[in-house]
Chains A and B, each alone.
Chain A
Amino acid sequence: MSTCHNPSSEPAAAAGTLKVALVGSPNVGKSSVFHSLTGRRVVISNYPGTTVDVFRGRTSFNGHHVEVVDTPGMYSLHSITEEERVARAILLQEKPDVVLHVVDAKNLERMLPITYQLIEAGLPVILVLNMMDETQALGIDIDTDLLSIELGVPVQKTAANLGRGINELKQAVLNYQPVCLNLPVFYDNTIEQAVAALLPLVKNQPAVRKLSPRAIALLLLRDDTQILQLLTDDGADIKAIEKIISEVRASINQTPAYLLAVSQQRAAQQMVRKVMTQRADDKPPFREKLSRAMMHPLSGSLILAAVLMVMYFFVGVFGAGTLVGWLEEVVFGQYINPWLQDVLGNLIPVKIIADLFIGDYGVITLGLTYAIGIILPIVSTFFIIFSIIEDSGYLPRLAMLVDRLFKFIGLNGRAVIPIVLGLGCDTMATIVTRTQETKRERVITTLLLALAIPCSAQLGVIFGILSVSTGMILTWLGVVLLVFLLVGYLASRLISGERASFYMEIPPLRLPRLANVLTKTYARLEWYLMEVIPFFLLASVVLWAGDAVGLLDILINALKPVIEFVGIPAEAAVAFIIGFFRRDFGAAGLYDLATEGILFGNGLLVSAVVMTLFVPCIAQFMVMIKERGWKTALAIAGFIFPFAFLVGLVLDRTLKLLGVNL
């Protein structure tokens, strides 16, 4: 069986400006292909009504005007994320003359299902096997002629990052001729019968002129609400359509979407067996074994524990112990601060003005000492470790490991991305929750980010505070993890409906390069200090003013009973008030109290836990308001604040009950 679209037999290039669209999943080198096709004259713009950026470039292939559009990455024609919706909208509304489906040739099997979907949709597809250099390096050969015959579409090999195969690709675009396309996949009988029944119902609808009726029918079977909406607008017989779909669903155990995916995967597997040959030499290399071990639930957890241990010794013991001890106690404590106090104390006779610089909340004694004496060494060591982890490619593997844990507590797999990103910066991670499917999932992820995910700077300082004992850091980790799982579990019970599976491209593991790690650490530090120092200075001015007018005392006195009741010494009240400004600033306050010997043992642990859990920093809170609306943001904050102290209380009483004194 075959379908014919676009009966004209003229080459596409004969018309005026050729429109070429690039599609493909992320990480297949799509932007390299785009840039090698267009050069550098590129316009970036928001796709109308969305936050998604679309790249467009105008160029000429052998004198023919060509417009190239780079669509956002997509994993399926059945759109879930905003990016995928934009990619599909471009294909449907802009009607490109040629669609280049760019794939990572070494992962052809995983990539082919989208090719099938594009062919089914009746789009003018050329399959671009990119990253051929890496594929060949792995000893993989692909018979492109056979693949082209089997698929019924042109196939081109490229290594766009090296500029290989680009001229041939341009020529293939110019030569593109619409042909009778094969139907790439035959589905289960139930599905094929349903498609046959749906075809007459969708055939003459305007939406169909952009997409083949078969593709429309298949998307309907996948519960694609957008397509259903389009057909409703066109006045199609929705009742009859829904009847067919519910009949299919009733007659099979799985969802139709699952059956379709399985058939496509099977077809892809068979195809790859036909066209791909692997030089049979070696067993999986060490790197591959290590990569798998990192994602395996058991070995992966052990590796994560080892990574945390290394972090603890380097950041907590060395950074926060050795380095801070020297900087804060010796450099600031014995030299800079006494000297400045002496000089400025004499220079500025009015005490209240002098206090602005050298008082309890002075710009120098509080702001600069915290920023440079405490935060700087801790975050420097932390950023070094973090850059190494980033550079090695461990983060995506951590995401895959965490995904299993998420499924276990019934959370959506897509929540993994923002949660792991939150370990870098919660503010941006909150914005990324947009990629989640439903409003409820977005709210739950936002809540978990605000509650239990410390950002990188805060994490560094927490490691620093708790470096006094391994037991303390393990308890802290255990409590925060438990809160995360418990709140996540309870919140996800409120969600009904399917759980999306999480899929992510895993870039190769590699040995971190020293130069890379150092320049990145430096860049991160420079950025951090630029952002943090003004903030710390401003905060100390605010605190000084609050102290001068007596407002701070009122606040501290209000907070004291709560804090003491939870088991934290009253002196820590200031640190918690500072924590409203920035979490890491508050943590630095706790650090200061710990080195002065005021905060120790159980009280230190409880304050670290409460500080981790309670209120996000101001930037994150503002983003929460912007993304979720002020009602939800206030509700989340309103839950978190008492809840953090409640957890602290429970922890304190449990420790007392068990007779544990850390």
Chain B
Amino acid sequence: MTTNNETMKCPYCGHEFDAAAGTAFCGSCPVGKNCRLVRCPNCAYETPAESRLISTIRKLRRKP
């Protein structure tokens, strides 16, 4: 899923994209921008953003 904090690889089409770009389809969705899912700009497949807990653990392990 996540290669680093900024780029993600779509599990559906394999497209690599900036996590920041994953909101192209959100405009029409009633759940809006608060749903914490990241959408692939190529095919709109949704993946949950990495949880804060996990990314904190990851950072802690990287910088001992």
User: Which residues of A are in contact with B by a Cβ distance under 8 Å?
Assistant: 26-27, 29, 31-32, 35, 42, 44, 51-53, 55, 72-73, 161, 390-391, 393, 395-396, 399, 417, 420-421, 424-425, 427-429, 431-432, 504-508, 516, 519-520, 522-524, 526-527, 530-531, 618-619, 622-623, 626-627
Also in contact, A395 and B25, with CB within 8 A (given A44-B20, A431-B44, A523-B48):
no
Cα A531 to Cα B18 with chains together (Å): 24
Q: Is the CB of B35 within 8 A of A531?
A: yes
Q: Is the CB of A424 within 8 A of B21?
A: no
Also in contact, A431 and B11, with CB within 8 A (given A31-B16, A519-B51, A530-B36):
no
Q: In this complex, what residue of A is CB-closest to B57?
A: A519
Q: Is the CB of B30 within 8 A of A432?
A: no
Q: B interface, how many residues as a size bin?
A: 35 or more
Write the nearest CB–CB distance from A43 to chain B, whole angstroms: 11
- Which of chain A's residues have a CB closer than 8 A to the CB of B54? 519, 522-523
Q: Is the CB of A26 within 8 A of B15?
A: yes
Cα A52 to Cα B44 with chains together (Å): 12
- Which of chain B's residues have a CB closer than 8 A to the CB of A424? 45-46
Residues of B7-57 at the interface with A, using a CB-CB cut-off of 8 Å, are 7, 11-18, 20-21, 24-25, 27-31, 35-37, 39, 41-51, 53-54
Q: Of B7, B25, B51, which is within 8 A of A523 by CB?
A: B51
- Which of chain A's residues have a CB closer than 8 A to the CB of B1? 391, 516, 519-520
| Interface of chain A, main secondary structure | helix
- Which of chain B's residues have a CB closer than 8 A to the CB of A432? 25, 43-44
Q: Can you sample 26 A-B contacts with CB below 8 Å?
A: A26-B13, A26-B43, A27-B14, A29-B16, A31-B16, A51-B24, A55-B21, A72-B41, A390-B11, A390-B47, A391-B1, A395-B12, A396-B13, A399-B12, A421-B12, A421-B43, A421-B45, A427-B29, A428-B37, A428-B46, A431-B29, A504-B13, A506-B14, A522-B54, A523-B48, A527-B37
Cα A446 to Cα B18 with chains together (Å): 29
| Interface of chain B, main secondary structure | loop
- Which of chain A's residues have a CB closer than 8 A to the CB of B11? 390-391, 393, 395
Write the nearest CB–CB distance from B60 to chain A, whole angstroms: 15
Q: Is the CB of B17 within 8 A of A623?
A: no
Cα A55 to Cα B42 with chains together (Å): 13
Q: Of A399, A524, A623, A626, which is within 8 A of B48 by CB?
A: A524
Also in contact, A507 and B29, with CB within 8 A (given A53-B21, A428-B39):
no
Q: In this complex, what residue of B is CB-closest to A627?
A: B28
Cα A340 to Cα B11 with chains together (Å): 43
- Which of chain B's residues have a CB closer than 8 A to the CB of A425? 37, 46
Q: In this complex, what residue of A is CB-closest to B30?
A: A622
- Which of chain B's residues have a CB closer than 8 A to the CB of A526? 48, 51, 53
Write the nearest CB–CB distance from B55 to chain A, whole angstroms: 9
Q: Is the CB of B44 within 8 A of A31?
A: no
- Which of chain A's residues have a CB closer than 8 A to the CB of B30? 427, 618-619, 622-623, 626
Q: Of B14, B18, B53, which is within 8 A of A393 by CB?
A: B14
